[in-house]
Each structure stands twice: as C-alpha cells, then as structure tokens.
Structure 1
C-alpha cells in the first residue's frame, strides 16, 4: 500500500492535512506547497498615509466626538495614550467595538486601524518559527531527527503513551507496561493528537462581518475606510520587496528569484511553479523506511536534512535588520539544484511544463502583478 505522511508543526500541535497521502502525492501538489508558504510567510504591516494618530489628530481639528445634545464632547481631548487604553479595552472584549468607535472620526480610525491590522496579522504566518516535520507512518518508536527535543522532558511529554491513545488501557495499566512500550512513535502522536491547521486567514472579524456591514453600510465614514477593514492577504506581502526562506535552526536562507521558472511568476513571497513550499517539503521528511512513492535522486529524502528545523519566509530588509552581525549562509544554488533534480527525476524532461500546468486551477490565488489596488 505504501507509506502515508503527515506535515506537522510540533509546537502548535497542528498538521497541514489529514488525508493520508503518500510523499509522492503531495510533494508535487502546488496547492499544498502554497498552503505551507502562507503559514510560513511573515506579514509586513501595510503603510498608510498619515497613519500615526498624533499626525492625524494635529491635522483634523474637527475630530471631536459630539455628545447626545450635539455639543462637542471631551473624549477626543484626552491624550492619545488614553485613547489607546480605551481601544485596547475594547479590543480585548470585541473587535466590533473597536470598529464602531473607530469610524466615528478620522483620528479615532487611525487608532482603530492598528487593531484591525493586528487582528488580521495574527492569522498570517502562524507556522513561522515552528519546528516542522513530515512524518511517515512507517516510523519506528524512538526514531526522530537529531536535536528535535531540547530536553528529555520535552520528548517524554510528547511521546509518552496516554489512555486516550488506546481505549482499552487506563493510566495504571500503561504504567505497568515494559519501559519500551510506554512511548509511541512520533507519527502516532501526530496522527492521534494533532489538529488540522487551516491556512486561510480567519481573524475575529470574520464571523462578525455581516453584523458590522449591516450596522455601518450607510455610514459615510465607514465607506471611506471600508477598504482598510476588509483587507486581503496580498496587502501584507508587498511585491517590491526581496523575499527569502530562512532556516532559523541552521542560519541558512534561500532567495526567491532563482526559483522562478520564468519571469513574472512571483507575487511577493509566492511563486507559481516551484516556490519556497517545495523547497521546505523536499527537506523535512522523516521515516525509518525509504518508501516515498517517488524517484529520489538524493537517496535520503526520507531522512530530511531539515526535518524538525524552524523556518520563516520574510523580506531581506527585515532579515538584515534582525540579524546584523550574525553569520548566515546563502544556500540558494544548492537547494535549486536539489529541488530541480527531484522534480526532473520524477516528472521527466518536461517537468517545468508540468510544474507550471499544476497552477492553472489556482491562478485566483495569485493576483495579476499589473493590477492596481
């Protein structure tokens, strides 16, 4: 039957899929690679004109909030620091309250917008910095990548057998088992206990959108800022930045440009054809058995060199700012050669055409690079 695999983020206890696919079935799946890129890509805060509340307040003297009798209220005269505390209180309770207060005037919206952006960003790049591994179900107990666990306690907490793993045994019975039977394999733990991670952005606003629209659709201020409330993922991944995939464990990075099979296929960190997701998937697999259901020119894809490592996708600008003085290695050439070898070995001489054709049904996920916002 072959070996089935799960893609997991260990710290989050999440998996990308639970469809019991073979490695050769999802390694060349563009939708899965795209989903992986989405959860690894660190968002960039969009820049807006006059975005600082202090600047907006100084240029909008009409920002006072009226009282019920029509007289100017005193709320807007408080310092910005106090206003932020009020918005923070509203945000802890309900994002809807933040928006209702924010659309009362341009100054308050300049503060509310920060919380709307924050809420949206919390659902982006959720696997960035997580330990990632693709585990096969032929994995033996006690077999895991070197350095996967920081301590023995971490290993025990994850792999020890629990009553919920076996309906026929309670904890006392488990404690009576031989030591070697008190733990389960990493695959079994992931399969039994990890939940599916939805790659789509789902901020708290999502479930309340219809309520908010119904209450605000006629509000002129809302119409002015509606495009800032209903943001898209692409707003957080600028196309004019240089994007890289980083292995945070080994201090190595891969540049996006050399991965492009032809010009014009990149949209921020996302590339049609072969992208960062393909690179990660080619190196994070781990199993005790070499059954991978694909032609493997490396001979070691089931013992991935990066299995259990931490990753993110970010801009070169952010990388240079965060890593000043640190030693990082550009491994782009090595990875492009390796991924190319895997694709060509399995898909044949027309592998590039195959890779590009796989995205025909996914083009909606990649906006036209020439389109205007």
Structure 2
C-alpha cells in the first residue's frame, strides 16, 4: 500500500509539480527528481565579468559615466534624459524579471544601470527554493504530528489560506489533517528553475531582434546550467556540487553520490533512474503520520525524515570553502551514501 506525496516549500507556499502527487515508490528514483535539487542550486557567476554590463561596449573616451561605469547617452530623450537616480527609481519599482530585462535591452545605458536588479531577480529565479523550509508530506499526515518548528506554519500561515464561514460546521474546531489538502489546493505551482537554455523563451517568438538575441545569449552564457542527462561525461562541474542543510549545518558532497550512481544504476541499465542530490534530499525530508510509501524499504525511517522542514541550498565546492573548512559544519556524505545504497538495494531486491 501507500499514500500520495507532495514536496512543498512552506515559506513561499509552493508545491513542486515534478514527479510528485503519487505514491512515493512510483517516482522516488526517477531522474526527474534531479530537478528538485536544481531548485536549490545557487548561480555560479563568473568572477571576472559582470552578468549584463558586457551586453554592449561603450566609448568611454568622451561621454560621462554613471556610478556603474556606463556612459550617459548624448542628446538623450525620454527616460534616457533623466538623472541616474530617477532611472534607478524606475528600476526599483520593477519586480518582474522580463520587465527588467526589457528595460536593459532597450538601451546600453539602461542595461548597465539595471544590472544589479537583473542580477538579483535572475538569482531568485535560478534557485527559487534555496533557503526555504522544504518537506515532502504524505496525505495521511496529521497537523498535530509535524516536525518540531513547523507547527506555527499550520497554526498561522496554512489557516490564513483556508476560507472560513460563520456557519462553519466545526464551530472553531479544526480538522487535524489540513496541511496536505491546503497545500495541494492553495499553494502555487513550481516547475523547473531558470537555466540558460530557456532564458530566451521568456519572450514570445519573434519578439527579440537578432541583436537582442545576441545580448540575451551573452547574458545566458553567464549562467552555468545546461540540460544534461544524469552524469553525462561532460558533467564534470556537477561533481563538485554540495548539498547544504543550513538548519543543521550538515552537508553532502555530490562526487560520492555520483560514484554511487555509477556503481549501482549504470551497470543495471535502469532506464530513467538516477541517484542524485535530489534523492539525497528526498530520502531525508519525507514526513507522514503513517509509513506507507509503496517501497519495500525501512519505511518508518524514510517517512520520518530527520531533515523534514529544514532550510537547504546547493552550491559549488569552490563557492563554499568557508563552510567546508569549518569545524562547525559536519560532512555526512558517507552516512548518506550508505542510506541511499540501502534504499536502492531494498527497492530492487528480487527484480
């Protein structure tokens, strides 16, 4: 038997629409679960070049420059004639990535001024669930049986989303299983994170000129993610990724998880299956009041995940030396790999 499971980010009130909404054993090992960790992956900006200021090279020899180094336009009209401070105020009132990028594309001067905001919004779209409270909940979860620290989200945030009427049949007595249903009905949907192969798709077909497409392509090259099959031979950089549990100050290195994938998955040629940081996360954040998961594994351990509701992010090792070298952080890679191997072998025993 089993129950239905959804992965949610509680603080931003979103549910992942990847391989969820069915029994856990039906999708736990699917390669699409890689997308779950992708929602946590911080951008790997190049250090030697800014994201957007290189869209257009300017002649700085005789034109005045702004604080960002961009030349002010000569004989400017319209918004270009405004002081830099007012142009900044216009950007400050934009919160949509497409609006900001359109402003940046309109003129090299605007592109340079809008660079910091474009950077910020791209980073948010790039890792929308980084530093969020994440949990994968089963539909038999009781609200009185949540991991420590999550009760207030049910008591306040979740109930804020529920419509109550004066003649509520419960007369103030709430059901004890509202979180799952409310999350499914009221939470927003979160698909994949932003990556450079789809950046140009923010615009309708034909909306960009050839020059603008070149500018967008240059911006896209500063983003590091490309669509790859699990552990393709060119995927060297991904082996340097690290999953951080920010709440408990623990981390798991991708390189060892990749080694487990190569040792267990590839020789058996399981189509569409993977062992990735997504499975690392999922194996620690499942939570329900019964242990039904449609998997022949240690279900009591799997469905009471010790990291359920914690904050996470994924970064490259080179970005994280402070944490990796700190005695305050604990490397739990070996224990995690052993747990994943146990889950994998128990899942496929006898097949």
TM-score above 0.5: yes
SS across alignment from 1:225: helix
Residue 6 of structure 1 corresponds to which residue in structure 2? Answer: 6
Residue correspondence of structure 1 range 150-169 to structure 2 within 5 A: 151=152, 154-160=153-159, 164=163
Distance 1:68 1:185 in 2: 58
Residue 240 of structure 2 corresponds to which residue in structure 1? Answer: 242
Distance 1:204 1:89 in 2: 23
Residue 148 of structure 2 corresponds to which residue in structure 1? Answer: 146
Deviation digits for residues 194-245 of structure 1 (CA, Å, limit 9, x no counterpart)? 22212142899754354651xx33x5xx576342245585359992883210
Asked if the contact 2:141/2:289 (under 8 Å) is kept, the reply is: yes
Distance 1:24 1:53 in 2: 47
Distance 1:307 1:68 in 2: 55
Asked if the contact 1:116/1:229 (under 8 Å) is kept, the reply is: no
Deviation digits for residues 237-263 of structure 1 (CA, Å, limit 9, x no counterpart)? 992883210111111000111111349
Q: Does 1:170 align with 2:168?
A: no
Asked if the contact 1:84/1:111 (under 8 Å) is kept, the reply is: no
Give the one of 75, 93, 114 matched to 1:67.
75
Distance 1:191 1:50 in 2: 40
Asked if the contact 1:91/1:97 (under 8 Å) is kept, the reply is: no
- TM superposition score normalised by structure 2: 0.73
Q: Number of matched residues?
A: 314
Residue 366 of structure 1 corresponds to which residue in structure 2? Answer: none
Q: Does 1:259 align with 2:257?
A: yes
Consecutive unaligned residues of structure 1, counting only runs of 5 or more, are: 70-74, 266-271, 351-373
Asked if the contact 1:87/1:98 (under 8 Å) is kept, the reply is: no
Distance 1:204 1:262 in 2: 31
Q: Does 1:101 align with 2:107?
A: yes
Asked if the contact 2:5/2:137 (under 8 Å) is kept, the reply is: yes
Residue 275 of structure 2 corresponds to which residue in structure 1? Answer: 274
Q: Does 1:34 align with 2:34?
A: yes
Q: Does 1:129 align with 2:131?
A: yes
Query: Which protein shows a greater Rg?
Result: 1
Deviation at 1:327, TM superposition (A): 0.3
- TM superposition score normalised by structure 1: 0.69
Residue correspondence of structure 1 range 340-359 to structure 2 within 5 A: 340-348=341-349
With over 3 angstroms needed to count, the CA separation of the structure-2 counterparts of 1:160 and 1:204, relative to structure 1, is: same
Aligned-CA RMSD value: 4.0
Residue 231 of structure 2 corresponds to which residue in structure 1? Answer: none
SS across alignment from 1:128: coil
Asked if the contact 1:142/1:185 (under 8 Å) is kept, the reply is: no
Moved more, 202-211 or 20-29: 202-211
Asked if the contact 2:7/2:136 (under 8 Å) is kept, the reply is: yes
Deviation at 1:97, TM superposition (A): 2.0
Deviation digits for residues 252-291 of structure 1 (CA, Å, limit 9, x no counterpart)? 000111111349x9xxxxxx93111010111111111111
SS across alignment from 1:173: coil
Residue 192 of structure 1 corresponds to which residue in structure 2? Answer: 185
Asked if the contact 1:160/1:182 (under 8 Å) is kept, the reply is: no
Residue 119 of structure 1 corresponds to which residue in structure 2? Answer: 121
Distance 2:207 2:279 in 1: 39
Distance 1:113 1:212 in 2: 21
Distance 2:245 2:303 in 1: 19
Distance 1:320 1:34 in 2: 24
Residue 294 of structure 2 corresponds to which residue in structure 1? Answer: 293
SS across alignment from 1:283: helix
Distance 1:52 1:8 in 2: 33
With over 3 angstroms needed to count, the CA separation of the structure-2 counterparts of 1:344 and 1:285, relative to structure 1, is: same
Distance 2:345 2:224 in 1: 31
Distance 2:21 2:31 in 1: 17
Distance 1:15 1:23 in 2: 15
Distance 2:218 2:323 in 1: 28
Moved more, 86-95 or 135-144: 86-95
